[in-house]
A and B are shown apart, each in its own frame.
Chain A
Amino acid sequence: MPEQRAAITGLGTYVPEKILTNAELEKMVDTSDEWITTRTGIRERRIAAPGEATSDLAREAARRALADAGVEAREIDLIIVATNTPDMLFPATACLLQESLGAERAGAFDLLAGCTGFIYALVTGGQFIAAGGAQTVLAVGAETLSRIVNWRDRNTCVLFGDGAGAAVLRAAPAGYGLLASRLGAHGAGGPLLCLPAGGSRRPACRETVEQDLHFVHMNGREVFKFAVKTMEEGTRGVMEDAGLSVADIDFLIPHQANIRIIDAAVKRLGLAPERVLVNVDRYGNTSTASIPLALQEARQAGRIKDGDNVVLVGFGAGLTWAAAAVRWFDARRPE
């Protein structure tokens, strides 16, 4: 019997109302709209309201995903929340979400794989469905990165935004769903992108606060190189596993960190730009939320249709990377 594949049967996204434009950032740090736009492609990003935490964003996205899939919260067997900005170190944000959704039957855990987290969560959830350990999985990527960026550091504060996306996973009809996936990590690159303090290595104390060690630290050049290489290799890897050529790829959903990374990777792959979704201009890098936000946008714009071959690919802190090839299942397609 062939392995049971998982499909995304519902999607939901949520972004906070407040928009922070490059013009507003010019008043906060020494930067310019021109510099940010040419280096990153970002024009604006969303910022969570005071008191709005990651689980709040996740809840809105999850409710929309459940409604989209026509699934009740109590039907969920497993909740996986990929995030770098949990409400607190513990309990898991997934447990806070389980409570606020009323998903009484669900197991729940968080997954930490940097900006790659959503693909890791999708693949992990897909494995539970393939193995029969769960029938309905909720995979979420949610972030309030505005809470961990240093708003005095012009190199990083312009890059990130807040948002959330959620996907309901269920068994796919024959021929649909998750065709292939590859997960990777390069632990040696960990220091290139990290939040140094607040864990067991450097517990929070006055010095760690004074030295800005509770903020995102990043070596952009090295991460850029890693990103371009792994996005190309990851995409080629899952294409090979799924038996797809470049011409077979209907749509690529890359992690939205920086337009220059996306452009460089797409050029190396030889993909036509119209087959790539870009929305980094409006949301910045929302880390684990970026892939579901982009996927939802492509779907709502009618750019992804039932039966399309879609590749999701990302990279992030860890360093990590992942790619997944999906034959898109539109649950509302005409029979």
Chain B
Amino acid sequence: MSVFDKVKSIIVEQLGVEEADVNMEASFIEDLGADSLDIVELVMALEEEFDLVIPDEDAEKIRTVGEAVKYIQDHQ
């Protein structure tokens, strides 16, 4: 499974959205209806899935699905 596919399945699970809505350009807040705490939970799920630590200052800069995928690829 690609990083994107894994990220997508986590987003679908955490945010309760449709797979079709999760594309690289989608913004967590504007397009996927997340609030700040949903994003914290999402970051926790990504940290566990990819065995990463995403510091708060980095997490704040991740606004779209594509930014999350890129962050994970850059830090693996």
Contacts and interface: CB of A to CB of B under 8 A. Distances in A.
Contacts of A228: 41, 44
A229 B47 CA distance: 12
A224 B35 contact: no
B44 A225 contact: yes
Interface residues of B, number: 9
Interface in B16-44: 35-37, 40-41, 43-44
A222 interface: yes
Interface residues of A, number: 11
A131 B37 CA distance: 44
B56 A222 contact: yes
Say whether chain A's binding surface is mostly helix, strand, loop, or mixed: helix
A39 B36 contact: yes
Contacts of B37: 39, 224, 260
Contacts of B36: 39, 221
Contacts of B35: 38-39
Interface in A204-255: 219, 221-222, 224-225, 228-229
Given A39-B35, A39-B36, A229 B44 contact: yes
A20 interface: no
Contact of B59 (A39, A221, A260, A264): A221
A309 B56 CA distance: 37
A325 to B, nearest CB: 25
Interface of B: 35-37, 40-41, 43-44, 56, 59
Given A221-B59, A224-B40, A225-B40, 6 more contacts: A38-B35, A221-B36, A224-B37, A225-B43, A225-B44, A228-B44
